[in-house]
């Protein structure tokens, strides 16, 4: 016999099963996204390492376009000349984290922020210092 209470129990049971399925699907997607971020870390770290050991011309090629534009505007000089005037600390890669199209690479003497562009991973900010709970303060940024 199908009573209103039994029908309600079946409906709620269906909702629970649907929500459980949704939760499981969300968990799978979250793990996949985390896995993709893990796959990006070696590339991000390679770009950061190349940036720290390169000369000014090569560093300019590794900068995001908006960062190059801001640097050239701020310093009233071409990128390579402007970078030559900045004392960027650099160092060895200590750790990295990737969030979608953005990444942070901590070096022994610096922190870099990278962004994924059509050209691949590029440095968006360098010579960055943490400011407690406030955003990092960066000498080179867009």
Instruction: Please provide the size of the chain in residues.
Output: 142
pLDDT at 39: 64
pLDDT at 19: 43
pLDDT at 109: 93
pLDDT at 23: 37
CA distance 86 to 81: 9
Q: How confident is the model at residue 128 (pLDDT cuts 50, 70, 90)?
A: very high
Radius of gyration from C-alpha coordinates of the chain: 23
* Domains (range + CATH), the chain: 40-141 (3.10.450)
pLDDT at 38: 65
pLDDT above 90 (res 5): no
> Among 74, 73, 52, 57, which Cα is nearest to 123's?
52
pLDDT, one tens digit per residue, over 21-76 is: 333 333 333 334 444 556 679 999 999 999 999 999 999 999 999 999 999 999 99
Q: What token pair was written down for 130? A: 């943490």
CA distance 139 to 24: 44
Beta bridge partners of 65: none
Most confident of 7-16, 81-90, 116-125: 116-125
pLDDT above 60 (res 94): yes
Chain centre distance of CA 32: 16
């Amino acid at each position: 016999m199908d009573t209103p209470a039994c029908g309600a129990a079946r409906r709620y049971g269906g909702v629970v099963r649907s929500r459980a399925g949704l939760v499981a699907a969300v968990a799978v997607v979250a793990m996949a996204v985390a896995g993709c971020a893990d796959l990006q870390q070696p590339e991000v770290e390679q770009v950061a390492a190349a940036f720290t050991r390169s000369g000014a011309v090569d560093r300019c090629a590794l900068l995001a376009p908006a960062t190059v534009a801001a640097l050239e505007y701020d310093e009233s000089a071409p990128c390579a000349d402007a970078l030559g005037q900045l004392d960027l600390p650099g160092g060895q890669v200590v750790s990295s984290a990737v969030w979608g199209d953005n990444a942070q690479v901590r070096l022994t003497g610096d922190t870099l922020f990278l962004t994924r562009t059509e050209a691949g991973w590029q440095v968006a900010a360098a010579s960055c210092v943490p400011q407690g709970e406030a955003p990092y303060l960066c000498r080179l940024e867009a």
